[in-house]
A and B are shown apart, each in its own frame.
Chain A
Protein backbone atom coordinates (compact mmCIF):
# COMPACT_ATOMS: atom_id res chain seq x y z
CA UNK A 1 0.00 0.00 0.00
CA UNK A 2 1.23 3.47 -0.88
CA UNK A 3 1.43 5.44 2.34
CA UNK A 4 3.27 7.93 4.51
CA UNK A 5 3.49 7.39 8.26
CA UNK A 6 4.36 10.44 10.33
CA UNK A 7 5.73 10.03 13.83
CA UNK A 8 7.80 11.71 16.50
CA UNK A 9 5.38 14.29 17.79
CA UNK A 10 4.88 14.97 21.46
CA UNK A 11 5.04 17.52 24.25
CA UNK A 12 8.09 19.76 24.33
CA UNK A 13 8.95 22.85 26.35
CA UNK A 14 9.42 26.22 24.70
CA UNK A 15 12.97 26.44 23.44
CA UNK A 16 13.22 22.68 23.16
CA UNK A 17 13.85 20.38 20.22
CA UNK A 18 12.04 17.53 18.53
CA UNK A 19 12.63 15.39 15.46
CA UNK A 20 9.74 14.24 13.31
CA UNK A 21 9.94 11.29 10.96
CA UNK A 22 7.89 10.22 7.98
CA UNK A 23 8.26 6.65 6.79
CA UNK A 24 7.30 6.04 3.18
CA UNK A 25 6.17 2.72 1.76
CA UNK A 26 4.67 1.33 -1.41
CA UNK A 27 6.50 3.64 -3.81
CA UNK A 28 10.00 4.65 -4.84
CA UNK A 29 10.66 7.25 -2.17
CA UNK A 30 13.89 8.48 -3.73
CA UNK A 31 12.02 9.62 -6.86
CA UNK A 32 9.80 12.10 -5.04
CA UNK A 33 10.49 15.51 -3.54
CA UNK A 34 8.81 15.85 -0.17
CA UNK A 35 7.37 18.56 2.06
CA UNK A 36 6.20 19.17 5.59
CA UNK A 37 2.91 21.00 6.09
CA UNK A 38 1.49 21.92 9.49
CA UNK A 39 -1.87 22.87 10.94
CA UNK A 40 -2.20 24.67 14.24
CA UNK A 41 -5.26 23.75 16.30
CA UNK A 42 -8.36 25.19 14.67
CA UNK A 43 -6.32 26.88 11.96
CA UNK A 44 -5.52 26.35 8.30
CA UNK A 45 -2.72 24.53 6.55
CA UNK A 46 0.74 26.11 6.43
CA UNK A 47 3.56 24.89 4.19
CA UNK A 48 6.72 24.51 6.28
CA UNK A 49 9.57 23.03 4.27
CA UNK A 50 10.49 21.14 1.10
CA UNK A 51 13.34 18.91 0.01
CA UNK A 52 14.48 17.67 -3.36
CA UNK A 53 14.86 14.00 -4.22
CA UNK A 54 18.56 13.94 -3.38
CA UNK A 55 18.29 16.24 -0.39
CA UNK A 56 20.60 18.69 -2.06
CA UNK A 57 17.99 21.44 -2.24
CA UNK A 58 15.94 22.50 0.74
CA UNK A 59 13.47 25.31 1.26
CA UNK A 60 11.76 26.80 4.31
CA UNK A 61 8.92 29.08 5.23
CA UNK A 62 10.13 32.30 6.82
CA UNK A 63 8.38 31.31 10.05
CA UNK A 64 10.75 28.37 10.60
CA UNK A 65 13.90 29.37 8.74
CA UNK A 66 16.98 28.99 10.90
CA UNK A 67 15.18 26.81 13.46
CA UNK A 68 13.96 23.79 11.46
CA UNK A 69 15.99 21.45 9.27
CA UNK A 70 14.49 19.09 6.71
CA UNK A 71 16.40 16.03 5.60
CA UNK A 72 15.85 12.62 4.12
CA UNK A 73 17.46 9.19 4.10
CA UNK A 74 16.58 7.51 0.84
CA UNK A 75 18.15 4.23 2.01
CA UNK A 76 15.61 4.16 4.84
CA UNK A 77 12.71 5.65 2.85
CA UNK A 78 12.34 8.26 5.56
CA UNK A 79 11.85 12.01 5.69
CA UNK A 80 12.80 14.04 8.76
CA UNK A 81 12.11 17.42 10.28
CA UNK A 82 14.47 18.52 13.03
CA UNK A 83 12.82 21.29 15.00
CA UNK A 84 14.70 23.43 17.49
CA UNK A 85 14.07 26.61 19.48
CA UNK A 86 10.43 25.65 19.50
CA UNK A 87 7.83 28.30 20.22
CA UNK A 88 4.21 28.12 21.29
CA UNK A 89 3.19 29.07 17.75
CA UNK A 90 4.91 25.94 16.39
CA UNK A 91 2.31 23.76 18.09
CA UNK A 92 0.44 21.95 15.34
CA UNK A 93 -0.27 18.71 13.59
CA UNK A 94 2.60 18.16 11.19
CA UNK A 95 1.91 16.32 7.94
CA UNK A 96 4.46 14.99 5.53
CA UNK A 97 3.36 15.34 1.94
CA UNK A 98 4.65 13.87 -1.29
CA UNK A 99 5.06 16.16 -4.25
CA UNK A 100 3.05 14.92 -7.16
CA UNK A 101 4.28 13.92 -10.58
CA UNK A 102 5.03 15.00 -13.17
CA UNK A 103 7.56 17.27 -11.55
CA UNK A 104 6.47 20.15 -13.75
CA UNK A 105 3.27 20.33 -11.69
CA UNK A 106 3.77 21.79 -8.25
CA UNK A 107 1.31 20.07 -5.91
CA UNK A 108 1.02 17.41 -3.23
CA UNK A 109 -0.55 14.07 -4.06
CA UNK A 110 -0.08 11.96 -0.94
CA UNK A 111 -0.34 12.92 2.71
CA UNK A 112 0.62 11.33 5.98
CA UNK A 113 -1.90 11.15 8.79
CA UNK A 114 -0.04 13.74 10.81
CA UNK A 115 1.77 13.87 14.12
CA UNK A 116 0.88 16.31 16.88
CA UNK A 117 3.47 18.65 18.36
CA UNK A 118 2.55 20.44 21.57
CA UNK A 119 4.78 23.22 22.87
CA UNK A 120 4.10 24.06 26.47
CA UNK A 121 5.84 24.43 29.81
Chain B
Protein backbone atom coordinates (compact mmCIF):
# COMPACT_ATOMS: atom_id res chain seq x y z
CA UNK B 1 0.00 0.00 0.00
CA UNK B 2 1.35 3.40 -1.01
CA UNK B 3 1.78 5.84 1.85
CA UNK B 4 2.48 9.54 1.33
CA UNK B 5 4.22 11.01 4.33
CA UNK B 6 4.08 14.53 5.76
CA UNK B 7 5.22 16.01 9.03
CA UNK B 8 2.19 15.95 11.38
CA UNK B 9 2.94 19.41 12.67
CA UNK B 10 5.33 22.30 12.27
CA UNK B 11 5.69 25.72 13.77
CA UNK B 12 7.19 28.89 12.38
CA UNK B 13 7.68 32.38 13.70
CA UNK B 14 5.99 35.28 11.95
CA UNK B 15 8.28 36.40 9.15
CA UNK B 16 10.19 33.15 9.23
CA UNK B 17 10.69 30.49 6.61
CA UNK B 18 9.40 26.95 6.83
CA UNK B 19 9.68 23.97 4.50
CA UNK B 20 7.10 21.21 4.62
CA UNK B 21 7.89 17.94 2.91
CA UNK B 22 6.00 15.17 1.14
CA UNK B 23 7.57 11.75 0.83
CA UNK B 24 6.74 8.28 -0.39
CA UNK B 25 7.03 5.13 1.65
CA UNK B 26 8.32 3.10 -1.26
CA UNK B 27 10.02 5.48 -3.67
CA UNK B 28 11.56 8.89 -4.15
CA UNK B 29 9.19 11.67 -5.09
CA UNK B 30 9.96 13.13 -8.48
CA UNK B 31 8.22 15.47 -10.85
CA UNK B 32 6.70 12.38 -12.45
CA UNK B 33 4.32 12.20 -9.51
CA UNK B 34 3.07 15.75 -10.29
CA UNK B 35 3.08 16.82 -6.64
CA UNK B 36 0.54 19.44 -5.70
CA UNK B 37 -0.17 21.27 -2.44
CA UNK B 38 -3.37 22.44 -0.81
CA UNK B 39 -4.11 24.70 2.14
CA UNK B 40 -7.10 24.10 4.36
CA UNK B 41 -8.41 26.03 7.33
CA UNK B 42 -10.98 24.45 9.69
CA UNK B 43 -14.43 24.15 8.20
CA UNK B 44 -13.32 25.28 4.77
CA UNK B 45 -12.70 23.54 1.49
CA UNK B 46 -9.11 23.04 0.40
CA UNK B 47 -7.42 25.79 -1.59
CA UNK B 48 -4.96 24.93 -4.33
CA UNK B 49 -1.51 26.43 -3.76
CA UNK B 50 1.02 24.65 -5.96
CA UNK B 51 0.72 22.16 -8.83
CA UNK B 52 3.13 20.36 -11.13
CA UNK B 53 5.77 20.53 -8.38
CA UNK B 54 6.41 24.27 -8.50
CA UNK B 55 3.67 26.17 -10.34
CA UNK B 56 1.70 28.56 -8.17
CA UNK B 57 -2.05 28.52 -8.62
CA UNK B 58 -3.72 31.76 -9.62
CA UNK B 59 -3.76 34.33 -6.84
CA UNK B 60 -1.33 32.49 -4.58
CA UNK B 61 1.29 34.82 -3.09
CA UNK B 62 4.87 34.28 -4.19
CA UNK B 63 5.93 33.55 -0.62
CA UNK B 64 4.66 30.03 -1.37
CA UNK B 65 6.96 27.94 -3.51
CA UNK B 66 7.27 24.30 -4.43
CA UNK B 67 10.25 22.14 -5.25
CA UNK B 68 11.85 18.73 -5.06
CA UNK B 69 14.31 18.52 -2.17
CA UNK B 70 16.29 15.33 -2.17
CA UNK B 71 13.77 12.52 -2.47
CA UNK B 72 10.73 14.52 -1.39
CA UNK B 73 8.45 17.23 -2.68
CA UNK B 74 8.63 20.40 -0.64
CA UNK B 75 6.47 23.43 0.06
CA UNK B 76 8.37 26.45 1.33
CA UNK B 77 6.70 29.45 2.91
CA UNK B 78 9.00 32.47 3.05
CA UNK B 79 7.99 35.31 5.33
CA UNK B 80 5.22 33.42 7.10
CA UNK B 81 2.16 35.38 8.10
CA UNK B 82 -0.42 34.73 10.78
CA UNK B 83 -3.05 33.72 8.26
CA UNK B 84 -0.75 31.02 6.91
CA UNK B 85 -1.68 29.02 10.00
CA UNK B 86 -3.54 26.12 8.37
CA UNK B 87 -3.37 22.48 7.46
CA UNK B 88 -1.30 21.73 4.37
CA UNK B 89 -1.78 18.65 2.22
CA UNK B 90 0.27 17.28 -0.59
CA UNK B 91 -1.08 14.82 -3.12
CA UNK B 92 0.81 12.65 -5.55
CA UNK B 93 -0.50 11.24 -8.80
CA UNK B 94 0.23 7.51 -8.98
CA UNK B 95 -0.87 7.00 -12.56
CA UNK B 96 -3.90 5.11 -13.86
CA UNK B 97 -6.26 7.77 -12.53
CA UNK B 98 -5.20 7.32 -8.91
CA UNK B 99 -4.11 10.00 -6.43
CA UNK B 100 -2.85 9.58 -2.89
CA UNK B 101 -2.94 12.38 -0.31
CA UNK B 102 -0.48 12.79 2.48
CA UNK B 103 -1.73 12.91 6.04
CA UNK B 104 -1.34 16.67 6.19
CA UNK B 105 0.81 19.06 8.21
CA UNK B 106 -0.70 21.36 10.80
CA UNK B 107 1.26 24.60 10.62
CA UNK B 108 1.30 26.92 13.58
CA UNK B 109 2.55 30.49 13.24
CA UNK B 110 3.70 31.82 16.60
Listed in ascending order, the chain A residues whose CB lies under 8 Å from chain B are: 35, 37, 44-47, 50, 57-59, 61, 95, 97, 100, 105-114
Contact = CB atoms under 8 A, between A and B. Distances in A.
B52 interface: yes
Given A45-B91, A106-B34, A111 B46 contact: yes
Given A45-B46, A100-B48, A105-B51, A35 B99 contact: yes
A109 B102 CA distance: 17
Contacts of B82: none
B99 A50 contact: yes
A109 B46 contact: no
Contacts of A106: 34, 36, 93, 99
B89 interface: yes
B101 A50 contact: no
Residue from B46, B57, B87, B100 with most neighbouring chain A CB atoms (10 Å): B46
Interface residues of B, number: 25
Residue from A44, A57, A95, A113 with most neighbouring chain B CB atoms (10 Å): A44
Nearest to A95: B45
Given A44-B89, A59-B96, A109 B34 contact: no
A45 B89 contact: yes
B36 A108 contact: yes
Interface in B73-99: 87, 89, 91, 93, 96-99
Contacts of A110: 48
Given A105-B34, A113-B45, A44 B104 contact: yes
